[in-house]
């Protein structure tokens, strides 16, 4: 199977699912797949995708997995994992088709606490199917990895594996993590819950773009959405999982919303698009403006990183603010083949079935990476000046 377990996904999917489960149990939404490379697919690929999703629907949380998550995710109560035991992926909740230009479209719709779990499963399945039949040499994959880990060890670069969604395959993902566990001195863990369980690594997670996107859509727009999202996160997790994602509507907007309260409560912030050097300056300036020592806080960098870039960013942060790195495709899909450039984002949502559907927008710190209806994107930009 392409997906090995219900837990073969990123930790933040469960933390976000529980957030909806607790605070917005009636909320509904649709996630839409985007291929930034505009890849050409064929009907045979769609058939394989249907078959893979049928296999996915057979997965369920095992007793071993249940016990592991209850023991290692103290911030999520046991009743959530009791519910997760009964959860199954439902292919009828998904629509898959090719348009006239043979571009792939995938939509998944359900209550948000369920449909949020489809994102990583869809992305890693599409990536794995795109790589079917491509020949790789695992010795060469590890050979490519060796100097990266050597650089991390030499420069003391703290990093985590964030590579589930666009990995080459589960087998490659597992092999590179085995090498990392055996050789990396500064690996902080992995976002993948199943591999964390199997390999004795720490699970790593933060909150996603979809939370402020949802808040903005159902609660009056993007101006205060970051603030409200952080408020909800604090109510739900009471200080756990304290890394705030900054670029849902641009980091300038986020830092305007970043209050003394949240800057004090959250351990740090995550940079996921735009100019990381400018971001360092922005974060430090905001912490100082709020009377907080930046050296007590951390920036998690996660935007298309490799280890050389991480080394330069670590040097830029030295003595100014702490840092760590979430490295994804460069770890799990450096095989000599071109990786997929795919995402799956919340497109529409509503607080309950009696409300009209609202369109969701993500702006990011790069204009070309905005996602959403063009008119809605322009409206958000005008509202945010």
Q: Is residue 381 part of a domain?
A: no
Q: Supply the pLDDT for residue 132.
A: 95
Domain that holds residue 351: 11-134+340-359
Distances from the Cα of 371 to the Cα of 61, 104, 213, angstroms: 33, 16, 11
Say if 370 falls within a structural domain. no
**Structure-block tokens of residue 371:** 């996602």
Q: Which of 332, 348, 368 marks a domain boundary?
A: 332
- For residue 206, being part of any structural domain is answered with yes
Distance (Å) of CA 89 to CA 41, 53, 57: 24, 8, 5
| Tokens 């085995």 found at | 178
Task: Give a yes or no: residue 5 inside a domain.
Answer: no
Distance CA 156, CA 210 (A): 32
User: Under DSSP, is residue 350 helix (H, G, I), strand (E, B) or coil?
Assistant: strand
How many separate domains does the chain show? 2
Three-state SS string over 261-322 comes to HHHHHCCEEEECCCCHHHHHHHHHHHHHHCCCCHHHCEEEECCCCCHHHHHHHHHHHCCCCE
- Same-domain pairing of 348 and 303: no
* Residues 250 and 273 both lie in one domain: yes
Same domain, 54 and 69: yes
What confidence score (pLDDT) does residue 44 get?
A: 97
Pairing outcome for strands 104-111 and 94-98 = antiparallel
156 & 303 share domain: yes
Q: Is residue 364 part of a domain?
A: no
Assigned domain for 21 exists: yes
Q: What is the CATH number of the domain that holds 207?
A: 3.20.140.10
Asked whether residue 108 falls in the same domain as residue 199, the answer is: no
Run of H or E residues at 214: helix 210-218
Are residue 81 and residue 97 in the same domain, yes or no? yes
Give the span between the Cα atoms of 35 and 99, in whole angstroms.
Answer: 13
Residue 138: predicted pLDDT:
96
117 with 173, same domain: the answer is no
The CA distance from 157 to 153, in Å, is 7
Same domain for 313 and 273? yes
Q: Are 243 and 208 in contact (CB under 8 A)?
A: no
Q: What is the pTM of this model?
A: 0.97
Please check whether residue 256 is in contact with residue 283, taking contact to mean a CB–CB distance below 8 angstroms: no
In a domain, 53, yes or no: yes
Alpha-carbon distance of 364 to 254, in angstroms, equals 11
Cα separation, 163 vs 189, whole angstroms: 12
Return all residues near 204 (Cβ < 8 A) that are at least 6 apart.
11, 160, 161, 162, 188, 189, 190, 191, 326
Say whether both 49 and 160 belong to one domain.
no
In a shared domain, residues 161 and 269: yes
Question: Would you give the distance in Å from CA 267 to the centre of its chain?
Answer: 18
Q: Tens of pLDDT along the chain (385 residues)?
A: 999 999 999 999 999 999 999 999 999 999 999 999 999 999 999 999 999 999 999 999 999 999 999 999 999 999 999 999 999 999 999 999 999 999 999 999 999 999 999 999 999 999 999 999 999 999 999 999 999 999 999 999 999 999 999 999 999 999 999 999 999 999 999 999 999 999 999 999 988 999 999 999 999 899 999 999 999 999 999 999 999 999 999 999 999 999 999 999 999 999 999 999 999 999 999 999 999 999 999 999 999 999 999 999 999 999 999 999 999 999 999 999 999 999 999 999 999 999 999 999 999 999 778 999 999 999 999 999 8
- How far apart, in Å, are the Cα atoms of 49 and each of 30, 92, 123, 169, 267? 19, 13, 11, 15, 40
CB–CB of 30/115 below 8 Å? Answer: yes
Contacts of 147 (CB under 8 A, 6+ apart): none
Same domain for 130 and 145? no
236 and 348 share a domain?
A: no
* Nearest residue to 332 via CA among 8, 53, 6: 8
Cα separation, 147 vs 153, whole angstroms: 10
The answer to whether residue 20 sits within a structural domain is yes
Measured CA distances, 305 to 98, 125, 340, 370 (Å): 31, 22, 15, 20
């Amino acid at each position: 199977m392409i997906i090995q377990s219900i837990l073969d996904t990123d930790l933040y999917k469960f933390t976000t699912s529980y957030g909806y489960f607790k605070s917005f149990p009636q909320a509904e939404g649709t996630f839409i797949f985007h291929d930034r490379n505009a890849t050409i697919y064929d009907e045979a690929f769609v058939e394989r995708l249907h078959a893979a999703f049928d296999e996915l629907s057979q997965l369920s949380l095992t007793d071993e997995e249940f016990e592991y998550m209850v023991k290692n995710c103290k911030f999520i109560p046991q009743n959530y994992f009791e519910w997760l035991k009964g959860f199954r992926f439902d292919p009828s909740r998904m629509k898959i088709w090719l348009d006239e230009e043979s571009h792939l479209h995938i939509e998944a719709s359900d209550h948000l606490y369920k449909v949020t779990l489809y994102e990583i499963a869809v992305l890693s399945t599409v990536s794995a199917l795109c790589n079917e039949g491509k020949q790789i040499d695992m010795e060469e994959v590890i050979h490519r990895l060796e100097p990266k880990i050597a650089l991390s060890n030499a420069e003391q670069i703290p990093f985590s594996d964030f590579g589930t969604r666009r990995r080459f395959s589960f087998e490659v993902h597992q092999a590179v993590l085995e090498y990392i566990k055996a050789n990396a001195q500064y690996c902080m863990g992995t976002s993948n819950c199943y591999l964390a369980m199997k390999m004795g690594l720490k699970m790593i997670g933060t909150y996603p773009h979809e939370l402020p996107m949802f808040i903005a859509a159902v609660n009056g727009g993007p101006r205060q959405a970051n603030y409200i999202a952080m408020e909800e996160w604090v109510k739900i997790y009471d200080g756990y999982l304290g890394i705030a994602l900054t670029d849902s509507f641009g980091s300038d907007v986020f830092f305007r919303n970043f209050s003394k309260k949240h800057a004090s409560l959250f351990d740090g912030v995550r940079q996921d698009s735009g100019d990381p050097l400018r971001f360092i300056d922005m974060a430090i300036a905001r912490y100082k403006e709020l009377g907080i020592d930046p050296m007590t806080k951390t920036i998690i960098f996660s935007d298309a990183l490799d280890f050389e870039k991480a080394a330069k960013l670590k040097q830029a942060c030295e003595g100014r603010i702490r840092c760590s790195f979430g490295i994804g495709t460069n770890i799990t899909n450096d095989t000599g083949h071109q990786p997929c450039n795919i995402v799956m984002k919340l497109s529409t949502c509503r607080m309950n079935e009696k409300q009209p559907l609202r369109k969701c927008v993500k702006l990011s710190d790069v204009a070309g990476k905005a996602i959403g209806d063009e008119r809605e994107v322009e409206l958000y930009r005008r509202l945010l000046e």
